[in-house]
Structure 1
Amino acid sequence: MSFVDEFRHKIYEINEETFLDSSLAAFEYQYSQCTIYQSFCNYLNKTPKNVKRLTDIPFLPIEFFKNHAIKSGNWDASKIFKSSGTTSSGRSQHFIRDVNHYHQSAKYHFEQSFGPLEDFQIIAILPSYQEQGDSSLISMVDYFIQFAKPGSDYFLEEEIDDILNTDYHKLIIGVSYALLDMAELKPPIKNSIIMETGGMKGRKKEMTREELHSRLKRGFSVDHIWSEYGMTELQSQGYGKGGSFHFPSWAKCIIRDINDPFNYLPEGKTGGINIIDLANIDTCCFIETKDLGRVDGELFEVLGRFDNSDIRGCNLLI
């Protein structure tokens, strides 16, 4: 069994005690197998010889996914996921070696968080993602629907009155602007998890997550709204309510000073989000995002994006 095959199988066994060793093994492999990442690390004078802690590892800025095919090793992609960015900013591309690995790890984490998919009827309201046709979120939901209860499918917000009246436990997952439109219809909601995937995609005015959830809770008459945190450049998702997310055991969020990429901040302090996603073994497990956030124990909070005037450190290398 190759290193990658063995590593994929072992991610489900990773815990707090083994996370460091697994991360260093992933770093050493990707340093040797990804030319772009190796060049980036060499520029920062970071090699397997002097990287001994998580905070020693260089995190690749997500902008690299817009201009390069990030691969560790030589292989053909079974799928290419693309971000929903505009043509002016460019779209990130994530080359996926084994889409089954993506699907299975996503299913594992969802079921660890919410229970078996077979217990849910899935109502997906994701029109903007469907229009693009190369979204990792759509690929994940397509896979989930195969295991869910009959009638699970994609809908427009005005099409769901009848299906909402079934007694099935439901997962209503939607892009924010579509859920807002649906909430204005004040449909009868029972026995449901409502999950927003973030972003107005230019369809409505952007708002804080607190305001979004407040409006959705009023419209749907529910006590809380769930959120999904995912990125094209990752293979793992975070789930949470009230603005705090949790990752699977093989992923972790750490917070950096936005002016110094190797100065990491303690719990409760706000800074740039770096993500270790060990499911990304075929590309790069160490991603520097453009999100602001803070960490509280095993949970992390996403506070928004920072603009180009805030970007320092590693981002200036692009």
Structure 2
Amino acid sequence: MNINNSIFNIQSEADFKAIALDVFKFQFEHNSVYRSFCDLLYIHPSEVNSVEQIPFLPIEFFKTHTIVSTNKAAEATFTSSGTTGSVLSKHHVSDLEVYKQSFRSGFKSFYGNIENYTVLALLPSYLEREGSSLVYMANDMIEQSKQPESGFYLHDLEALKNTLIALEAKGQKTLLMGVSYALLDLIEAHSFKLKHTIIMETGGMKGQRKELVKSELHEILKQGFGVDSIHSEYGMTELLSQAYSKGNGVFDTPPWMKILTRDPEDALTIQPIGKSGGVNIVDLANINSCAFIATQDLGKMKPDGSFEILGRFDQSDIRGCNLMVL
């Protein structure tokens, strides 16, 4: 489907709606798992006139089925993190250029040119396994930054401390992306007063520490790094796009990504803005897999299109939708 350029050039709500409906029709025809799901719901593209009417595929399908809308072989298969023995989500990506275009354009729209930053990545739990889409993105950002100090830091917190201090001393704009527990490890060993560095947590204690409420985590990180705000990245294995927060846990999406919330008791009902519920994501960059996903997160939409993540469904249960036996 030759609409990739259209996806990354959306200028208005009307553009988004038109392309989303086109993508829905395309995936209904070319994604056998998604087509079966829509058929079970008795929903056909001829009857769908709004984004809210499009069926959202429960994210668990990425654990049990091959979700593709193309016959092209996968160039990469990204897998979710999980405990030993757990079933992992698999996202078969047939065109890595689409992924690169999505995360490069998305980052640029929020933060400007990556070449202006030194990119430091503190992602030990991701680096220590295969198939992380976040590591793929961070590695590309490190390469694109073209700064000699850019790189991954696995467990060498002393080297990371020294790099941060040196970059700060020369006023170099820096991005430190880190998993939450590793950032806490860093500030427990060293304290900072950073004026030129963005601290971006990518979520998760990954079983390494007790989970903290986001506001509490961010307060600790702000004090430890000496910064006014903690930025966040919201993404997942099953997506090719990311939302970003520049503080206070409020996220914004790039133009080709949109968040809706569904009724926690009725997975097929989209709620009005301002009401908390299950997070549904439209990610049009997922043109070759599924662009319409019902996640296990709970969130709340704001009138300007931004959103907050409030938590997750208990036991990762998406209630009201028992169509998992395709």
Considering the TM-score relative to the shorter chain, is it more than 0.5? yes
Alignment partner for residue 277 of structure 1, among 283, 288, 295?
Answer: 283
Residues 24 and 52, structure 1, Cα contact 8 Å, conserved in 2: yes
Residues 296 and 316, structure 2, Cα contact 8 Å, conserved in 1: no
Alignment partner for residue 178 of structure 1, among 175, 182, 190?
Answer: 182
For 2:143, what is the secondary structure of its paired residue?
helix
What TM-score, normalized to structure 2?
0.93
What's the RMSD between the two structures over aligned residues?
1.3
Residues 267 and 318, structure 2, Cα contact 8 Å, conserved in 1: no
Instruction: Flag structure 2 segments of 5+ consecutive residues without an equivalent.
Output: none
1:282-315, Cα deviation, whole Å (9 max, x unpaired):
0000000000000002201101111148531225
Partner of 2:120: 123
1:314 aligns with 2:321: yes
4+ residue runs of structure 1 moved beyond 6 angstroms? none
Matches of 2:263 and 2:103 in 1, distance apart?
Answer: 30
Alignment partner for residue 110 of structure 2, among 109, 113, 116?
Answer: 113
Partner of 1:154: 152
Instruction: Flag structure 1 segments of 5+ consecutive residues without an equivalent.
Output: none
Partner of 2:130: 133
1:31-57, Cα deviation, whole Å (9 max, x unpaired):
000111000000000111211211211
1:152-195, Cα deviation, whole Å (9 max, x unpaired):
00013332122112221100000000001111221353300000
For 1:314, what is the secondary structure of its paired residue?
coil
1:199-223, Cα deviation, whole Å (9 max, x unpaired):
0000000111111101101111111
In the TM superposition, residue 126 of structure 1 has moved relative to its aligned partner by 0.3
Matches of 1:309 and 1:7 in 2, distance apart?
Answer: 34
Matches of 1:111 and 1:55 in 2, distance apart?
Answer: 28
1:79-121, Cα deviation, whole Å (9 max, x unpaired):
0000012234311000001112101210111011001111000
Matches of 1:129 and 1:120 in 2, distance apart?
Answer: 22
Residues 58 and 318, structure 2, Cα contact 8 Å, conserved in 1: no
Structure 2 counterparts to residues 4-19 of structure 1, below 5 A: 4=1, 6-14=2-10, 15-19=12-16
Change (3 A) 1:310 1:102: closer
Matches of 2:212 and 2:273 in 1, distance apart?
Answer: 26
Aligned residues: 314
Residues 121 and 171, structure 1, Cα contact 8 Å, conserved in 2: yes
Matches of 2:97 and 2:316 in 1, distance apart?
Answer: 39
Structure 2 counterparts to residues 230-245 of structure 1, below 5 A: 230-240=235-245, 241-245=247-251
1:236-256, Cα deviation, whole Å (9 max, x unpaired):
001002111111101100010
Residues 122 and 171, structure 1, Cα contact 8 Å, conserved in 2: yes
Matches of 1:145 and 1:311 in 2, distance apart?
Answer: 37
AA at the equivalent of 1:81: F
- Greater Cα shift, 218-227 or 82-91: 82-91
Matches of 1:150 and 1:17 in 2, distance apart?
Answer: 43
Matches of 1:248 and 1:309 in 2, distance apart?
Answer: 26
Partner of 1:36: 33
What TM-score, normalized to structure 1?
0.95
Structure 2 counterparts to residues 194-213 of structure 1, below 5 A: 194-213=199-218
Residues 193 and 227, structure 2, Cα contact 8 Å, conserved in 1: no
